[in-house]
A and B are shown apart, each in its own frame.
Chain A
Amino acid sequence: MTETPILSLRNLVVEIPTRRDVLRPVDRVSFQIARGEVLGVVGESGAGKSMTGTAVIGLIDPPGHIAGGRVELDGQRIDNLPAEKMRRIRGKRIGMVFQDPLTSLNPLIRIGDQLTETILAHLDVSEAEARRRAVAALEEVGIPAAARRIDSYPHEFSGGMRQRVVIALALAAEPDLVIADEPTTALDVSVQAQIIALLKRLCRERGTAVMLITHDMGVIAEAADRVAVMYAGRLAEIGPVAEVIAHPQHPYTRGLMAATPMATPPGERLNQIPGAMPRLDAIPAGCAFHPRCPVAEAGCRVGDPPRVEECGGRAACWVVAREAGLVRA
Chain B
Amino acid sequence: MTALVRIAGLVRRFDVSKPWLNRLIERAPRQILTAVADVSLEIPERGVYALVGESGSGKSTIGKIAVGLLAPSEGAVEIGGVDLHRERDPARRTETRAHIQMIFQDPYASLNPRWRVRDIIEEPVRARGDRSEGLAERLLEQVGLSARDADKFPHEFSGGQRQRICVARALASEPRFIVCDEPTSALDVSVQAQVLNLMKDLQERLGLTYLFISHDLSVVRYMADRIGVLYLGRLVEEAPRDALFETPRHPYTRMLLEAAPRIDAFGREVDPPKGEIPDPINPPTGCAYHPRCPFADERCKRERPAMRDAGASRAACHAVEEGRL
Contact = CB atoms under 8 A, between A and B. Distances in A.
Interface of A: 44-45, 158, 160-161, 188-194, 196-198, 215-219, 221-222, 241-242, 245-246, 255-256, 259-264, 266, 269-273, 276-277
SS class, residues of chain A in contact with chain B: helix
Given A44-B190, A215-B189, A193 B276 contact: no
6 contacts: A44-B190, A158-B276, A196-B261, A197-B272, A259-B193, A276-B158
Interface residues of B, number: 41
Nearest to A200: B269
A276 B194 CA distance: 10
B191 A276 contact: yes
Contact of B266 (A221, A269, A276): A221
Contacts of B197: 269-270, 272
B261 A266 contact: no
A273 B265 contact: no
A217 B197 CA distance: 20
Contacts of A277: 188
A262 B272 contact: no
Contact of B221 (A190, A261, A273): A261
B319 interface: no
Interface string B250-268: 0000011011111111101
A221 B218 CA distance: 15
A141 to B, nearest CB: 13
A221 B189 contact: no
Contact of B190 (A188, A192, A242, A272): A272
B91 interface: no
A271 B274 CA distance: 36
A262 B261 CA distance: 9
A144 to B, nearest CB: 10
A219 to B, nearest CB: 5
A44 B184 CA distance: 14
A288 to B, nearest CB: 14
A84 B277 CA distance: 43
B196 interface: yes
